[in-house]
Amino acid sequence: MGTLLFASFFSSPLWYYLLAIIAAALLIGFMLVSAIFSVWLERKVAGRIQDRLGPTRVGGKFGWLQTLADGMKLLVKEDIIPASADQMLFRVGPYIALAGSFTAFLALPFGNMLVGLDLNIAILFMLAVMSSEVFGIILIGYGSGSKWALFGGMREAAQMVSYEIPMAITVLVPVIVAGSMNLNEITLQQRGIWNWYLFHDPFTFCAFWTYFTCAMASCKRAPFDLAEAESELVAGFHTEYSGFRWLVIFMAEYGSMFAVSGIAAIMFLGGWSLGLPWELTDVFAGITGNATAGLWIGNLLNMVVFIGKCWFLVFVMMWVRWTLPRLRIDQVMMTCLKYLLPISCFLLIGVATWQLVLPPSVRTIAQLAIFGLTMLGLVLAILKLLATAKDVPGTGMPSMWQMTNVTGYQGAKQ
């Protein structure tokens, strides 16, 4: 009797609803933990680039618990709503932005079939739901009852809508190569680092950089953070927010950063592939002699590799933010409409022509050549970094460090 009840439960719709709740809880939990880590990493990256240490007080030498301490502070902080604000819109705006960011994780595969919702049009689904974040931004700006927040919201709406166009076009470049929009299938086609779509042809190589630039702009990252331009708009569209709702807004931003990095990793960098010509789930299935065990063990490693790639791309976004100066709003829009949009259209036409006209042998030779040149450039860059790190300060720019024999400088010989 008990066996029959057990079997009936697992075959009933309640079991699928329970699985859906568990999967959603795991995804939202990962998204929030990833946001906590990203905030800590952002402060550390900013500190190192600005020649300081960053957080060190809470959580030991590296300040591991600083973000948790800030989160606790925001949870107990008074949540103030301005008198002129629209009560409903002000309250619901941050959650709409968070929902748009979180929903994209449902179709993001972390391993071989390790995905919340396996869709044949997964890439279009992710781009569509992430674009809904702009509704939350508009409601946040409009509902705040502040002209600064409204200006910031309108700027962000124009920027996100504009940059989503070249971003979607550049994503179609590897889709044409793969012949599929299923993210799991696209990743499986890139086994072996030389088969990553980043190296497939000149058009996919350029499409990666174009996509990544558009992704930074769509996530409101500097130098495209005009919606939060503190020197112009106080704090932009979230000026009037404090406490937990302010926290939700930034969780949505960091969630979107990981999601667009996940798309970049899958479409151009082999997804969860370590660069080996074998799928790890198949390898461990053969070693253990059990397909289920191989799937679990292989996907555990796949998940670590995929998350590592995504966090590296998030780190690059932070690196760019603390390196380049902010652009003006007219420069931001001109960069998209005058440059990135035509470039993305050219890349789309180019890759379609490349696939149709050139024979497979020529395409293979070009792919290996691009891979070899990229690896050579990477090695030379690493050697240059190592050599620069060993140089005495001032070797590259001696005038910055010279303290004698400089006219007008203290201690200089007159």
DSSP string, 14-27: HHHHHHHHHHHHHH
Q: Which sign, positive or negative, has the C-alpha torsion 13, 19, 23, 28?
A: positive
Residue 329 lies in a domain: yes
In this prediction, residue 6 carries a pLDDT of: 43
Q: Is the pLDDT of residue 10 over 80?
A: no
pLDDT digits (tens, 9 = 90+) for 343-400: 999 999 999 999 999 999 999 999 999 999 999 999 999 998 888 766 665 555 555 5
- Which amino acid is it at 150? L
What does the CA dihedral 303, 308, 309, 315 come to, rounded to 10 degrees? 150
In this prediction, residue 327 carries a pLDDT of: 82
Most confidently modeled range among 290-294, 314-318, 386-390:
314-318
CA diameter of the chain? 101
In this prediction, residue 250 carries a pLDDT of: 86
Average pLDDT over residues 204-216: 95
Residue 305 lies in a domain: yes
In this prediction, residue 343 carries a pLDDT of: 96
In this prediction, residue 15 carries a pLDDT of: 74
Residue 272 lies in a domain: yes
Beta strands in 101-227 (DSSP E): none
Single pTM value for the model: 0.90
Residues with Cβ within 8 Å of residue 379, at least 6 apart in sequence:
none
Percent of the chain with pLDDT over 70: 89
Residue 45 lies in a domain: no
Of 218, 214, 223, 212, nearest in space to 322 by CA: 223
Q: Is the pLDDT of residue 111 over 80?
A: yes
Average pLDDT over residues 330-337: 89
Q: Is the pLDDT of residue 412 over 70?
A: no
Residue 102 lies in a domain: yes
pLDDT level of residue 404 (50, 70, 90 thresholds): low
- Domain range for 138 is 80-383
Which of 139-143, 226-230, 284-288, 376-380 shows the lowest mean pLDDT across its residues? 226-230
Count of domains forming the chain:
1
Cis preceding linkage at 223, omega within 30: yes
Residue 40 lies in a domain: no
The answer to whether residues 10 and 229 touch, using CB atoms and an 8 Å cutoff, is: no
Higher pLDDT, 341 or 218: 341
Q: Is the pLDDT of residue 56 over 90?
A: no
Q: Is the pLDDT of residue 62 over 90?
A: no
